[in-house]
Amino acid sequence: MRDNMRPGILFLACTILILSSCGFQRDLDTISEVQKPNEDTLLTAVSSELSEFETTIPFVAEETETDATLESAVTLPASSVDEHNGLEQSEGQNTQPVNEKGCFLKHSLGKFHSAALTEDNRLYTWGNNGGGQLGFESTSSDLWGDAFTGIPTLVPTLSGVKDVWLGYNKSMASTSNGDFFVWGGGWHMILGLDGIDDGHSPIMMPNLKNVVDVAMEFHYSAAVTSDGDLYTWGLNSYGQLGYVSTSSIEITDQILPFTPLPTRVPGVCNVVSVSLGANHIAALTSNGDLYTWGSDYSGQLGHDYTTTDSLGYPYTCTPAKIPGLENVTAVSSGGSVTAAICENGDLYTWGENYYGQLGYPSVEITDMGQPYTSVPTKVPGLSNVIAVALSGSHCAAITAAGDLYTWGSNSSGELGHGDMRGRRSPTKVTGLTNVISISLEPYFSAAITADGDLYTWGANNRGQLGHESSESDSIGYPCTFSPTRVTGLSNVLSVSFGGVHGAAITADGHIYTWGGNMNGQLGDGTMENRSLPVKIKIKEE
């Protein structure tokens, strides 16, 4: 099975049922959704694939300007490197303007590609382009023969871009006139384009207008429109699309239901935000009601309005309002966990609790022996919560006072408490104050403070923390156990991650990237991992 399997269609077909939007994981201990028995063969196949693929790209542990250090990284043939090299090492704050064509306002990261939007509404993309996810043809190839572009390059067929969202190998954008475009690797119609598997150029969706929010898992997507309608499309094996699909497709000898075009979810309206778990959806309405549907194997729906499939697993394809939860202001889903903040600042969690990620003990047990809670339960010890984030295996919450609390799995120090000991109740992260934003990946975390500083901690095997690490986890990967400021960056407005690479936009409109760079996703014109942020230039037209 290993033969001819680079990151591509066959590999993605295997990973679809075990990976959430959390990116590559170093083992399968954190699989968030216990799979149905007829999917076990997929888990076995992908287990060896992941561990083998993860070690193929060497890590540059230290950044210098000497060629000798960089020789230990991947070296590309001259014909494979873009002629424009936009690297500007961030060894200290550099306020010299880099982009002469407008400042960056927004950014989004996929697993192996990146995008940024300028103040004049132009969209630039870079990184892996094997499925056409950059929106144009690339002339360079990486070590696996996949097309890539290593410098931020204008998407030529789009103008007036208002927002952009990236998924695993697909891209979506909305424009100022309300049009909605998709492109990239539409494996098994996941793009939402009936009959088109791969869109190498942005293609407008005729039945979807005025999109204000998008959420994506690898195998399905959701979009909210300005009038509060919710549309979903993709695979529907757990009813996660919110309706019964009338089409089906064969994947690894299984016939699975899917919907090839964006379809409005009936029974829920006035939606203001949507959040996707591995195989379930949570939608928040303007009056503070929360609706969930999809897989309920670990109680992640928070209600019992479900039926069982032929194997006895609970699910529903009908959106149902969670009883007892009122005036919800925010919702977050990750893996098989759901969390909601109410207007009074209380935080409720429910779903899988194997790592203590719910913040309290669970008494219910699945048939696989995993603890879970099926009823939304207030997290004790927390009040005045204003933000929550989930990775599937650990959780973080910000209070109105700017304090940060974390709990759950801690195998790489991702909780930020100076050790690798997991916590089953919220624990305040010391040394951080005035936190205004938190972002979680499966093995690491990041926070922005009110003064614009960026702090990161946890796993650092690809330099994704933006600084060097002196600690290591139980299997020898470099880690940082306590929040550490990313030097060379100030006045950070936003940060995002694509699994093992990160990007930040600063108040002066510059974009910085760091971490894994196996497909040129850092935009510095190389395929060398970076443990320190680099300032990125756009490619001249």
3-state secondary structure 319-330: EEECCCCCCEEE
pLDDT in the model for residue 512: 97
Q: Is the pLDDT of residue 91 over 60?
A: no
Assign 68 to helix, strand or coil. helix
Nearest to 388 by CA among 352, 345, 419: 345
pLDDT in the model for residue 57: 30
Place of tokens 């109740």: 425
Q: Is the pLDDT of residue 63 over 80?
A: no
Q: pLDDT of 141-179, one tens digit each? A: 888 888 999 999 999 999 999 999 999 889 999 999 999
Assign 87 to helix, strand or coil. coil
pLDDT in the model for residue 68: 25
pTM of the model: 0.82
Q: pLDDT of 263-289, one tens digit each? A: 999 999 999 999 999 999 999 999 999
Q: Is the pLDDT of residue 490 over 80?
A: yes
- Average pLDDT for residues 513-534, to the nearest whole number? 96
Place of tokens 């923390």: 465
| Band of pLDDT at residue 293, cut at 50, 70 and 90 | very high
pLDDT in the model for residue 29: 32
pLDDT in the model for residue 187: 52
Nearest to 165 by CA among 203, 209, 216: 216
pLDDT in the model for residue 26: 36
Which residues are registered as beta bridge partners of 352? 372
Range of weakest confidence among 253-257, 463-467, 492-496: 253-257
Q: Note whether 401 and 435 are within 8 A (CB).
A: no
**Distance, CA of 381 to CA of 19 (rounded, Å):** 32
pLDDT in the model for residue 537: 87
| Band of pLDDT at residue 539, cut at 50, 70 and 90 | low
What does residue 13 show for φ and ψ, rounded to 5 degrees?
-60, -35
Average pLDDT in the chain: 82
Q: pLDDT of 351-406, one tens digit each? A: 999 999 999 999 999 988 999 999 999 999 999 999 999 998 999 999 999 999 99
Long-range contacts of the stretch 52-56 (C-beta < 8 A, 24+): 52/2, 53/7, 53/11, 53/24, 54/24, 54/26, 56/518
- Structure tokens belonging to residue 321: 């309002």
Q: pLDDT of 186-224, one tens digit each? A: 554 466 666 555 557 899 998 899 999 999 998 999 999
Exposed, middle or buried, 105 (CB in 10 Å: 0-12/13-18/19+)?
Answer: middle
pLDDT in the model for residue 144: 82
| Band of pLDDT at residue 110, cut at 50, 70 and 90 | very high
Q: What is the largest CA-CA distance in the chain?
A: 63
Which residues are registered as beta bridge partners of 389? 396
Long-range contacts of the stretch 91-95 (C-beta < 8 A, 24+): 91/488, 91/532, 92/487, 92/488, 93/488, 93/489, 93/490, 94/488, 94/535, 95/508
Assign 308 to helix, strand or coil. strand
What does residue 116 show for φ and ψ, rounded to 5 degrees?
-145, 145
**Distance, CA of 46 to CA of 260 (rounded, Å):** 26
| Band of pLDDT at residue 310, cut at 50, 70 and 90 | confident
Q: Is the pLDDT of residue 62 over 50?
A: no
Tell me the DSSP string of 121-189.
S-EEEEEE-TTSTTSS---EE-TTS-EEEEEEEE-TT--SEEEEEE-SSEEEEEETTS-EEEEEE-GGG
- Average pLDDT for residues 442-447, to the nearest whole number? 96
- Average pLDDT for residues 403-418, to the nearest whole number? 98
Q: pLDDT of 501-516, one tens digit each? A: 999 999 999 999 999 9
Output 105 or 539, whichever has higher pLDDT. Answer: 105
pLDDT in the model for residue 87: 40
